[in-house]
Amino acid sequence: MLDPIVAEALRRDGHRIVITGSGGWIGLALLDLLNAALGPDALRARVRAFGSSARELTLADGSTLPQAALSSIADLPHALTWVFHTAFLTKDRASVMDERDYAAANRAITGQVLDALDAIGTTGLFVASSGAAAKAEDGSAQGALELYGQLKLEEEERFGKWAQDRQATAAIVRIYALLGPRINKPEAYAIASFILDALAGRPIAVRSPRQVVRSYASLRELLSLVLATMLRGQGVSRFDSGGEPMELGDVARLVASLMPEGSVERAAITAPDADIYHGDGARYDALLRTHGIARVPLLQGIRETMDWLGQSHPKALVPGVPAPA
């Protein structure tokens, strides 16, 4: 559920809500949250979903919502609009595509959305960026992460300039690690593989020989903050997703604590360099306090993610069968 104060303000607001990448993790989670906050009739009246192709999206309550092809976004009639932009070919695609094709495809997505903003009446914008942009900015990213980060950084600049030139509201958020329902691609997220191991009664395996530090934020908490930013209308706001920085072995132990016989097998940390990937949690916490949004406790976020994965990935829960690698 969205923060209750944010949900109430959203019900009173009249903006149309446009979501790009609506079939991805963030897009579907946002649709579920909006459906719960607004109700199905208002959702269909106020929300427009766009993705790579036209299809029906199934929401958490079993209802459906049409998704239109992103190429048609500029056909929307002009109206006061907030755009939640989450469409992007992610880092895993950068590993398997030609670099030029990958860059061209993402720049085309950015261009389609950017070119439509004025025509459809956009006054507020959320850009789901990535912590990889910070890695690209400081030169520490390599390989697929470097290309992905460079393109995310480029997108931040393009949308930020659009908002500044028009004195529009924009929340440009570098997302590091999230928790919550609709998590997809469990093979791409350590937390998902930990949870699937725990649910199947397997020891949670943390194999990295390096110290690995992450900070996890609840997606519903983050989206409440983004919506609060839109509702307040304070120009361009740039911030990172939050959470307490923790070594993955400690994260795995928290996951294991939720199961009766949960256990963790943490490989010895022998490498001298650490893998640290988290943003400015202090600023994120300050923004939550400014908007009066309560933190979702880490264990609660893990439970909600566990509930979703238990329902959505039953084949991965067979004892003795490894989680997706």
Question: From CA 303, how far away is CA 299, in angstroms rounded?
Answer: 6
Dmax of the chain from CA atoms? 59
Strands 55-58 and 64-69 turn out to be antiparallel
CA triple 324-28-74, angle to 5 deg: 125
Q: What is the dotted CATH code of the domain comprising 1-175?
A: 3.40.50.720
Structure tokens at 24: 């991805």
1 C-beta neighbours (distance < 10 Å), count = 11
Which amino acid is located at 29 in the chain? Answer: A
CATH architecture of 177-216+242-279+295-325: Alpha-Beta Complex (3.90)
State pTM to two decimals: 0.94
Tokens at 178, concatenated = 């999230």
Q: How far apart are CA 309 and CA 255, in angstroms?
A: 13
Residuewise pLDDT in 10s, the chain (325 residues): 999 999 999 999 999 999 999 999 999 999 999 999 999 999 999 999 999 999 999 999 999 999 999 999 999 999 999 999 999 998 888 888 999 999 999 999 999 999 999 999 999 999 999 999 999 999 888 888 999 999 999 999 999 999 999 999 999 999 999 999 999 888 889 999 999 999 999 999 999 999 999 999 999 999 999 999 999 997 999 999 999 999 999 999 999 999 999 999 999 999 999 999 999 999 999 999 999 999 999 999 999 999 999 998 776 665 544 444 4
Residue ranges of the domains in the chain? 1-175, 177-216+242-279+295-325
